[in-house]
Amino acid sequence: MMNQEEQLQLYNGKRVLVTGGFGMIGSNIAIKLSDLGAFVTILDSMVYGMGGNYFNIEPVKNKVRIAKHPISHSLLDIRSPHEDLLPFLDRVDIIINCAGQVDHQWSVTHEKEDWDINVNGHQNLLALVATLPKKPAVVFTSSRFVYGNVPEGLINEETVLAPYTPYGLHKLKGELIHEELAKTHNIPVTIFRITNPYGLRSHMRDKISYSVVNKTFIRKALGNEPITLFEGLENRMYDYIFIEDIVSALLLGGLNATTDASRYNLGSGKQYSLNQIAQNIIDVIGGGEIIINPCPKNYQVAIGKKQMNINITKIQKELKWQPKVDLIEGIQRTIEYYHKYRDKYWT
């Protein structure tokens, strides 16, 4: 059996549509695919607050195709009319479906808007995919938030789900939409439940919540601000995964998709407390401060009451995937990137 790198070489010459391709995960996917020799199309309307940044695709801006309306030249997205989307799906081999509203806290106060993007948008796109003469494989980026407030212990893909925010509920609905596509229309699908992503090309604008490592901790540390932790939560353990490892897993998922619509936990398989993460960032930067404040009243509602120990055995066994970047290396590479390109992400 081919190893991971040998499998990824199979993308050479493939036509791949990356939805959400200006965002953190999507842009890193697009860059890797271009490097592998794939023909890449990006579908992303750059909705404010969803993580999109034109600069993210700077290394491949002359290699990728961007889905735009034929007359107005406005950016299309997964909610666009089928007649506008169809030319960009013609003869596509694989769809890496990263599009979506990314802020679980925002979904609590904007439930309808979250549903429109994270449910209606995917229903619209996949309804079109079902009609294509050539059926592409589809990879969907779901989230750990579908698990919700599950009992303490190791969480595998068969754990009973208990999502507690609109974001988690809508991500679960997205999974079901993709599963229905696979089983009803015989289209290969792979679903990934991503833990806590961090790394290059995440937006860092203030007042937008996405990555606690990137935006909440690294942004503050690079700005010579103290990193704030909340009392009672500072020792809660979570799994954090570097963007490069996410990319390799998603690409393997595209090559190994089946009509069973397999679901995989996607994380590093290691647990770190918020305090450990913050201290590691301070150590890499060479200075900084951690302060502990009382926990805001509604914060527990947004993040849940449980820490999560994610089991990644299934993806390791079935896709022969392994995380390669440890926490310290990931933090170092992330900080180096934002040192270099800070002006592209802070505003």
Domains in the chain: ranges and CATH: 4-344 (3.40.50.720)
> CB 30: neighbour CB atoms within 10 A?
31
Joined tokens for residue 128: 């079109």
> CB 186: neighbour CB atoms within 10 A?
10
State the helix-helix crossing angle for 24-35 and 243-255, rounded to 10 degrees.
60
pLDDT (0 to 100) of residue 140 = 98
| Residue 207 binned pLDDT confidence (cut-offs 50, 70, 90) | low
Across 31-45, 47-61, 64-78, 129-143, least confident range: 47-61
Mean pLDDT for the stretch of residues 123-147: 96
Which residues fall within 8 angstroms of residue 326, CB to CB, at 6 or more apart?
268
Q: What is the pTM of this model?
A: 0.95
Give the CA angle between residues 123, 267, 264 to the nearest 5°.
Answer: 45
Mean pLDDT for the stretch of residues 63-71: 97
pLDDT (0 to 100) of residue 171 = 94
Mean pLDDT for the stretch of residues 212-225: 86
| Residue 162 binned pLDDT confidence (cut-offs 50, 70, 90) | confident
Phi and psi based region of residue 197 (left: phi greater than 0; alpha: psi -120 to 50; beta: remaining): beta
Token pair 């938030």 is at which residue?
Answer: 145
Which residues fall within 8 angstroms of residue 252, CB to CB, at 6 or more apart?
4, 7, 8, 319, 320, 321
Across 116-120, 217-221, 297-301, 316-320, least confident range: 297-301
Bridge partners of 292, per DSSP, are 229
For 27-143, list the strands marked E by DSSP: 39-43, 65-66, 94-97, 137-143
Q: Report the C-alpha gap between 172 and 146 in whole angstroms.
A: 6
| Residue 101 binned pLDDT confidence (cut-offs 50, 70, 90) | confident
Give the CA angle between residues 316, 317, 318 to the nearest 5°.
Answer: 100
| Residue 63 binned pLDDT confidence (cut-offs 50, 70, 90) | very high
Across 62-76, 216-230, 331-345, least confident range: 216-230
Give the pairing of strands 271-273 and 237-242.
antiparallel
pLDDT (0 to 100) of residue 216 = 80
pLDDT (0 to 100) of residue 310 = 93
Q: Over 70: is that where the pLDDT of 210 sits?
A: no
| Residue 232 binned pLDDT confidence (cut-offs 50, 70, 90) | confident
Joined tokens for residue 50: 């969803």
State the helix-helix crossing angle for 166-185 and 121-129, rounded to 10 degrees.
10
Percentage of the chain modeled with pLDDT above 70: 95
Across 24-38, 219-233, 253-267, least confident range: 219-233
Across 82-86, 146-150, 208-212, least confident range: 208-212
pLDDT (0 to 100) of residue 209 = 55
Mean model confidence pLDDT for the chain = 91
